[in-house]
Amino acid sequence: MNGFKFLFGQSNQQLKPIMKLLQNLLSTVKFEDILKVRIGLNWTAVVIQKNGIDYCGLASTVWEGHDHTSEPRIEKAGKLENMSGRELAELALSSNLTLRSVGIASLNAQLQPQLADDWIEANAGKILAENGKNKRMVMVGRFPFTEGLRAKVKELDVLEQMPGPDDLPASQAQEVIPKADVVAITGMTLINHTLEDLLKLCHPGAFVMVLGPSTPLSPILFKYGVNLLSGAIVEKIEPVMRVVTQGGNFRQVHKAGVRLVNFGAKPVNF
């Protein structure tokens, strides 16, 4: 395997193993009707309704670039809300990156009624600092608390597709992840279909966290070696949807009405 080439631009045949995780997630959901779909500049939001209660799921919006051809990027634009809950969530398996964002947001909305408040409120950065004391850590994706972790762990490598001065290129994942005691992976890897491959690189004794608002809060991920899921619950749907559709970043979306929560396998050191 050459860097992350095996993770991007695969044929449908090559994608099948990577999609197993998503298919397992989708198999656990009892799908409800879709109320709203919003694709914002930075975030995508989907609202469903169960027993008269609205639930909202988020995912990072991933764009494939802008062009001026006559071919539509979103074939059912304006009609996505007419799709069934299952059909919309299954867009997570699409070859279209933006539709995958819609699918993951829909999946996250559909999962919320099943959570039964089994989450814990705790700061993801503090959890990583506590579990990473005197240990080697790898983060796939950069987070606001990343620099603060450097002084609290023995060693920290950050993998990025577009690396900054202190980051490593994503192509070094196979080199650094197997050596890490703690691995934190952005939930966006579910959208680009790389999460399952990254989890396979983690050694069995590693503490593994998947984090970010795109993260599905489902115990299915614990079967893949994940110890902790750090995601988001939308508490104030209308203000959040308004910020999403006006291009807000996550700090703005969070302030509008999102609670950051953690859902863990045992044992987890919070």
pLDDT band at 67 (very low <50, low <70, confident <90, very high): low
**pTM, two decimal places:** 0.89
Residue 122: pLDDT band (50, 70, 90) is confident
51: domain CATH number is 3.30.390.100
Assess whether 136 and 35 both reside in one domain: no
Model confidence at 136, pLDDT cuts 50, 70, 90, reads: very high
Question: Does residue 152 form part of some domain?
Answer: yes
| Interatomic CA distance for residues 73 and 77, integer angstroms | 9
What is the domain-level CATH number for residue 158? 3.40.50.11590
pLDDT reported for residue 151: 87
Distance CA 21, CA 28 (A): 11
Residues 18 and 107 placed together within one structural domain of the fold? yes
Mean pLDDT of 241-260: 97
Q: Which residue has the higher pLDDT, 89 or 16?
A: 89
Same domain, 136 and 89: no
Residues 163, 173: Cα–Cα separation, whole Å? 13
pLDDT of residue 113: 84
Backbone angles phi, psi at 265, to 5 degrees: -80, 165
Q: Return the sign of the alpha-carbon dihedral for residues 210, 26, 108, 270.
A: negative
- Cα gap 114→215, rounded to integer Å: 15
pLDDT at 147: 87
Q: What mean pLDDT, rounded, does the chain reach? A: 88
Confidence (pLDDT) at 252: 98
Verify that 128 and 107 share a domain, yes or no: no
Euclidean distance between CA atoms 111 and 24, whole angstroms:
13
For 70-101, b where at least 16 C-beta lie within 10 A, e where not — what string? eeeeeebeeebeebebeebbbbbbeeebbbbb
- Residue identified by tokens 């994940």 is 226
* 3-class state of residue 12 by DSSP: helix
Judge whether 26 lies within some domain.
yes
Residue pair 183/137 in contact (Cβ under 8 Å)? The answer is yes
Q: Is the pLDDT at 9 greater than 60, yes or no?
A: no
Bridge partners of 139, per DSSP, are 158, 184
pLDDT at 52: 94
Q: Which of the listed residues 59, 92, 114 is the one where a domain comes to its end?
A: 114
29-46 pLDDT per residue, tens: 999 999 999 999 999 999
What does residue 262 show for φ and ψ, rounded to 5 degrees? Answer: -130, 140
Q: Domain containing 191: what range?
A: 124-231
CA distance 154 to 253: 33
Give the pLDDT score at 6.
32
58 and 138, same domain (yes or no): no
CA torsion through residues 215, 218, 224, 230, sign: positive
Span 157-170, pLDDT tens digits? 999 988 888 889 99
For residue 102, pLDDT over 80 is answered with yes
